[in-house]
Amino acid sequence: MSIKPFSRTLGLIDIFKQLRPFVKPYRTMIIGTLLLTFIGALAAQVNPLVLEYTVDEVQKLTELPNPLAEGVQVLIIISSILFGKEIVNIFIQFGQKYYGEKIRINVSSVLAQSAIDKILTYRTAFFQNEDYDTGKLQTRIDRGVESLTRLVQNFFIDILPLFSNSIIALVIMYMKNVYVGLVATLILPIYFWVSQKQANKLQGVRRTFRMQRENKSNGLINIIQSIMVIKSFNREKYEGTKQFDLQMDLMNNQLYTRKTNFLYDAIKSFLEQIGVVLIILLTVYLVLDQTISIGAIMLHIMLFNNVSAPIRQLHRIYDQMNDALIYAEGYFDVLNSDDEIEESGSLVKSEIRGDFELKNVDFTYPNGTKALYDINMKIEAGKTTALVGLSGAGKSTVVNLICKFFAPDSGEITLDGIPLNSYENQSLRSHIGLVLQKNHIFNGSVMENIRYGNMDASNEEVMDAAKKAYLHDQIMTLPEKYDHNANQLSGGQQQRIAIARLFLKNPPIIILDEPTASLDAIATEQIKNSLDAIKENRTVLVISHSLSQIIDSDVIYAMEQGRVIEHGTHQQLYNNESTYRRIFDASARSMNLDLIADTLNDN
């Protein structure tokens, strides 16, 4: 399995390489944004240059007899340049932000959708991985998409403009005077060093923050969901303390971050001022030496401001990049787990009879639990086969293998004499109807949920299926009828939705894994009747703890600890006095059958 815990082994270059296919469609937009960035960086140098010009011109003017009259032209030039630049800037900034954001939003949705499209092709085992418990897969994808997107955004909105601005400013400094350029360059490594220290100190703090916030909100959700248990055990104080501790951690973390940031920001300001002072000293010296003009003092100070601007942000950029590196790895792991893609044969059959045969099948779950040992079993077409056994005997695992959710370790499964592996998965599954003990109800209306069985079914067909599943009458009593939210139905009603889906799908092979386990006695009887009707001429595999559902099966397989112990008809197995008999007798006793029989006889 290629899933690794979060670790930082991907480099920035790797990330950009991996991102390439996702940003490629927006190439023109990216080139446009880069161009705008370049123009923006040039425009940022206009102010220092204009100021230099202004100071020098004003100085010359003051030496003239009537400076005010002569100066009008200079004022007009200065104001038109500055004004024109600001107008250009409006477009540049808008274009840069808008296109940067557009690229970010587009890339973000493509990244999210790609992950979903990809994992839908993965085999069931992938989803069983413990790494992906309780929403961890979603968190991993969400975080990956979020931080990669932020990286793209930062690149276009922060990193690129700031750094190009800085580089161009530095180039102009060198062009104007090499010595001043050199001083500005020499100060940079010290800035980098301090910024890196700051980033290192705060490394992971934002991540911890996010985790703490999630824990806190999860904690609240937990309280809401378990309020009855909390109250019944008088654990209010305990739960309160747990939340308080989380709150304190969060608070300490916040204070630490603020303190560190304030301290380093102060150091950086101080260093920046030292830089400014050095440049003032140098430029004043050069002015006095008559190497440069007075205006150049202003020019260099302002250019230096542009040079040092990105460094002020460096710790934040560094931290976010670090984040992206870490989470991107988790995301790309999910996206690139090609070895997890579900294997499928190519055989597509329009008609499948449903003769399954398992020969010497062994199976181990991905977590190492061995669930089946040397299983030999025949599920015959047109007949009803039952699997009986205590919980954990391996009955549902047999179903998992038959549906190709998992593949056996060894042994062979055939369907109609052809290896199951040869069948194309979707075609195979379109012939199988599965009703489980707990069926998934999607967030949506009853109508939508039933229609999941056959997306092309008309409303009438959906209602017809609901009638067969003894659900229709109950739905009609709901205020919104078929538009009612299916999640708000009772467990029994949800079970009938699953059965209605089965009626709608109308498959030749039906697998019932404890279909009436969550139903009351009356519903169980009704469902049994309708299932009996649908069983006609179909291949049925039924798993049930309820004797009534298995007693009339054509063949019963009794399983124990992953092995088939015996098989035969009810009568044969009863006479065998082995596993089946034990389960049968225990069920009869638990139902107090003697007393029930007496009551029925008395009446």
Within 10 angstroms of residue 398's Cβ, the number of other Cβ atoms is: 29
Q: Shortest approach of ligand ADP to residue 562 CB, angstroms?
A: 7
Binding mask 126-165 for ligand ADP (x = CB under 6 A): --x-------------------------------------
For the chain, give the number of residues: 603
**Cα–Cα dist 158/526, whole Å:** 66
Q: What is the DSSP letter of 403?
A: T
Segment holding 356, helix H or strand E? strand 356-364
Residue closer to ligand ADP (CB basis): 205 or 547: 547
Contact with ligand ADP (CB under 6 A) among 134, 391, 477, 590: 391
107 binds ligand ADP (CB under 6 A): no
Binding mask 366-385 for ligand ADP (x = CB under 6 A): -x-x-x--------------
Pairing mode, if any, of strands 356-364 and 370-379? antiparallel
The CA-based dihedral angle spanning residues 210, 211, 214, 216, taken in that order and rounded to the nearest 10 degrees = -110
Residue closer to ligand ADP (CB basis): 50 or 393: 393
396 binds ligand ADP (CB under 6 A): yes
Contact with ligand ADP (CB under 6 A) among 392, 411, 491, 508: 392
Residue closer to ligand ADP (CB basis): 259 or 370: 370
Query: One-letter amino acid identity for 115?
Result: A
> Which residue, among 408, 406, 409, 403, has the nearest Cα to 423 in the 3D structure?
403
Q: Shortest approach of ligand ADP to residue 363 CB, angstroms?
A: 9
Q: What's phi and psi for 292, nearest 5 deg?
A: -130, 170
Residue closer to ligand ADP (CB basis): 71 or 366: 366
Contact with ligand ADP (CB under 6 A) among 40, 295, 389, 433: 389
404 binds ligand ADP (CB under 6 A): no
397 binds ligand ADP (CB under 6 A): yes
Of the candidate spans 38-46, 309-317, 395-403, 518-526, the one that interacts with ligand ADP by CB under 6 A turns out to be 395-403
Residues with Cβ within 8 Å of residue 120, at least 6 apart in sequence: none
Segment holding 364, helix H or strand E? strand 356-364
In DSSP terms, which residues pair with 357 in a beta bridge? 378, 414
515 binds ligand ADP (CB under 6 A): no
485 binds ligand ADP (CB under 6 A): no
**Cα–Cα dist 347/349, whole Å:** 6
List the interface residues with ligand ADP, window 296-315 (CB under 6 A).
none
Of the candidate spans 386-394, 495-503, 519-527, 595-603, the one that interacts with ligand ADP by CB under 6 A turns out to be 386-394
Q: What is 68-118 written as a DSSP string?
A: HHHHHHHHHHHHHHHHHHHHHHHHHHHHHHHHHHHHHHHHHHHHHHHHHHH
Q: Shortest approach of ligand ADP to residue 342 CB, angstroms?
A: 16
Q: Shortest approach of ligand ADP to residue 397 CB, angstroms?
A: 3
In DSSP terms, which residues pair with 512 in a beta bridge? 435, 542
Binding site for ligand ADP (CB under 6 A): 128, 365, 367, 369, 371, 389, 391-397
